[in-house]
Every structure is written in C-alpha cells, then in structure tokens.
C-alpha cells in the first residue's frame, strides 16, 4: 500500500519535478502519427498529437504550461531528429495553449502556431484575462489546500493533498512568467498541409466546445484529432454552443476515420463516442427545456435533471460525471432561458 501511495503521489507532482516520461504516454496510432496521452495531474494537461512529416513535425495542442510542453518536446526528440515546424491550438482553453511559448524557444528557426481566427481572438480577448484572474485567485486555492492538509488524518489523503499543494505552488510560480504566445497563422474554415508523406486537414466545422474548435484530420491514415470537441471524459460546456455542437459532431462523424485522439482520455476507435455525446446533449437540452417550461428554478432543474441523466449516463462517462453534470445542466438551462 505504501508503495502504491508513493507511485500515486509521483503522478501528481509538479511538472517541473518530473522527468519527461512521467507526464505523457506516447502511443503509436498510425505510421508517423502518435498520441501523447497526458497522465493524471492536479493541474491537468491535455493530450497532444504528434505528426511526422518528411522533414518536420506537427504537434496538436500545448498543454497548461510551458514546462509540460518542454517535457513533451524531450519525448518528441526521442522519436525523431526532425524539428517541430507546426503547432495547432484546437481551441483557447488554458490547458491547450498555455505551453505555446516552448516551441518557438526550442526551434528559433521558425515555428508556425496555427488556429482558427476565432481561437486567436479568444486567446487574446478571453484567455489572457483568465490567466491574470488565475494568478490572483490561485493563492486562495493554495491556502485551501494547506488547510485541508492540516485537517487530513488519512495517510493516503495527506499524501495526495501534499502532492497537489506542491503542484499548485509550482503552477502559480510558472504562470506568473508565462508569455502568452498567440497563433501566427489563422483561417476561417480549413487549412490543408500537403506534404509528400502526409496530407493534414485542419478544419473548422462549426461551433462546439467553443466557437473556434478545429479538428485535425489525416485522410490517408484515417485518424481524427478532436481537441475537446470530443474526448474520453465528461464534456465541459462552460463556453459551448450545445445545439451547434450536435451538428458539428455530425459533420465530423461524416469524415472517414478509424481512430480518434481526443483532448483527454485514451485513444478512441470508431464513432461510438460521437453517438454517445450527441445523445447526451440532446437529452440534456430536452430535459433542461422541460424543466424551464415547467417554471423550475435553476436549483430545482439541477436536482431533477441530474437524477435523470445520472441514471442514464453515469456508467458511460468518467466517475466524476455525477458532479460534472451539474455544471452542464446550468449551462443548458442558461441557453434555454436566454435563447434569442
């Protein structure tokens, strides 16, 4: 048991305290295509996709901090001596772009950071204020962790809280020095890289998790990279467009692919996850609409709708679903109540 606790605490240590191999599991997906699956961490990192061209590398998403991006860069250099020339930000959320600066500093000869035009604007207009807000609010989070640690009596809980505290402190220190690096290449609907060995299509298919989500599609290899428009956990809907999201998933599902690298969780096969998410969004919006039509308050809607959705979906999403669904219901209720 003690050995297991030590292992668990190692997985939660700050990125600056871990070797590169401790942050990501690199999994081959197709010829010259790899998924970098982020290991568990208190300040979560997103997955990444690594795509090898003849003379260069494309990486999809850059995690929550430059140190995590640098850790992945170390692993990329073990795969190939080719330079990273392209980085794609699938959307503007902190855990997908805050490591951007690590790539130009690692390859000064030139790295193009690619996103939709909406994502670049979102990073500038919403991402940067959120970084500043987090710098202000993180000390309170750290104090709460210290208080919880002082109160904890269970050995396992104390080890986890101690590891979380170390990572939170390291994250705050790093966040203060982050230089937000904006995408250098943007597009409206599609950008296609034609290289001798691979064709990579970077596609905006509609509003979804945000208004700027892009999918990275390799038609020859039949691989689709989805960011947080689809992944292995419960959907986060804070900046989402729920009705549009269903249509966007429909459009993505029409592409010819066998494997999916999502923003979180393991590599997925087939299209079953697309169907699950679409059914979930439809049920969520229908239940929220009915609750609102009956005159239910948001609090009452959260209680009633959560019972229905937990009964139907809790075994199909991650163990945190019963908690995460509350925020999704609040978003759905807000969309219904203020729909133009």
Residue 89's domain comprises 2-121+181-270
Residues 241, 96 share a domain: yes
Residues 302, 196 share a domain: no
- The answer to the question of residue 166 being in a domain is no
Which pLDDT score is estimated for 21?
Answer: 56
- The answer to the question of residue 312 being in a domain is yes
Residue 30, strand partner residues: 33
- The answer to the question of residue 216 being in a domain is yes
Domain end (from 252, 270, 288): 270
Distance of alpha carbon 263 from alpha carbon 256, whole angstroms: 19
In what helix (H) or strand (E) does residue 324 lie, and over which residues does it extend?
Answer: helix 321-337
Which pLDDT score is estimated for 13?
Answer: 40
- The answer to the question of residue 160 being in a domain is no
Residues 278, 266 share a domain: no
Dihedral sign, Cα of residue 277, residue 280, residue 284, residue 290? positive
Residues 116, 197 share a domain: yes
Which pLDDT score is estimated for 3?
Answer: 34
- The answer to the question of residue 133 being in a domain is no
Low-confidence residues of the chain, pLDDT below 70? 1-21, 340
- The answer to the question of residue 146 being in a domain is no
Residue 311, strand partner residues: none
Overall number of domains in the chain: 2
- The answer to the question of residue 153 being in a domain is no
Residues 101, 11 share a domain: yes
Which pLDDT score is estimated for 18?
Answer: 46
Residues 256, 185 share a domain: yes
Residues 86, 22 share a domain: yes
Whether the Cβ atoms of residue 93 and residue 228 lie closer than 8 Å to each other: yes
Please spell the DSSP secondary structure of 11-55, one letter per residue.
HTS-GGGS-GGGTEEEEEEETTEEEEEEPP-SS----EEEEE-SS
- The answer to the question of residue 148 being in a domain is no
Residues 295, 245 share a domain: no
Which pLDDT score is estimated for 109?
Answer: 85
Spatial neighbors of 162 by CB under 8 A, at least 6 apart, are: 9, 149
pTM score, whole prediction: 0.91
Residues 325, 283 share a domain: yes
Spatial neighbors of 82 by CB under 8 A, at least 6 apart, are: 52, 53, 55, 56, 57
The CATH number of residue 71's host domain is 3.60.15.10
Residues 290, 230 share a domain: no
Residues 88, 50 share a domain: yes
């Amino acid at each position: 048991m003690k050995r297991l606790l030590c292992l668990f605490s190692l997985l939660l240590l700050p990125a600056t305290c871990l070797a590169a191999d401790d942050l990501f599991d690199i999994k081959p997906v197709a010829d010259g295509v790899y998924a970098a699956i982020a290991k568990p961490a208190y300040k979560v990192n997103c997955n990444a996709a690594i795509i090898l061209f003849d003379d260069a590398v494309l990486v999809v998403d850059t995690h929550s901090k430059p140190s995590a991006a640098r850790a992945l860069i170390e692993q990329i250099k073990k795969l190939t001596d080719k330079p990273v020339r392209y980085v794609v930000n699938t959307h503007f959320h902190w855990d997908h772009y805050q490591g951007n600066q690590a790539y130009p500093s690692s390859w000064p000869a030139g790295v193009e950071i690619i996103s939709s035009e909406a994502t670049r604007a979102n990073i500038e207009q919403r991402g940067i204020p959120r970084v500043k807000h987090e710098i202000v609010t993180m000390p309170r989070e750290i104090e709460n962790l210290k208080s919880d640690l002082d109160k904890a009596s269970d050995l396992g809980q104390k080890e986890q809280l101690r590891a979380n505290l170390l990572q939170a402190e390291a994250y705050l220190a790093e966040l203060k020095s982050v230089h937000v690096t904006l995408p250098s290449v943007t597009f409206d609907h599609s950008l296609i890289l034609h290289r001798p060995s691979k064709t990579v299509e970077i596609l905006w298919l509609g509003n979804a998790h945000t208004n700027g989500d892009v999918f990275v599609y390799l038609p020859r290899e039949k691989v689709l990279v989805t960011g947080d428009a689809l992944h292995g956990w419960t959907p986060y809907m804070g900046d989402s467009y729920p009705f549009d999201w269903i249509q966007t998933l429909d459009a993505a599902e029409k592409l010819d692919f066998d494997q999916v690298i999502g923003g979180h969780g393991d590599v997925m096969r087939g299209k079953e996850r697309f169907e699950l998410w679409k059914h979930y969004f439809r049920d969520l919006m229908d239940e929220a609409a009915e609750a609102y039509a009956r005159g239910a308050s948001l609090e009452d809607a959260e209680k009633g709708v959560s019972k229905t959705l937990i009964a139907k979906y809790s075994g199909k999403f991650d163990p945190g679903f019963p908690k995460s669904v509350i925020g999704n219901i609040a978003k759905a209720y807000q969309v219904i109540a203020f729909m133009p």
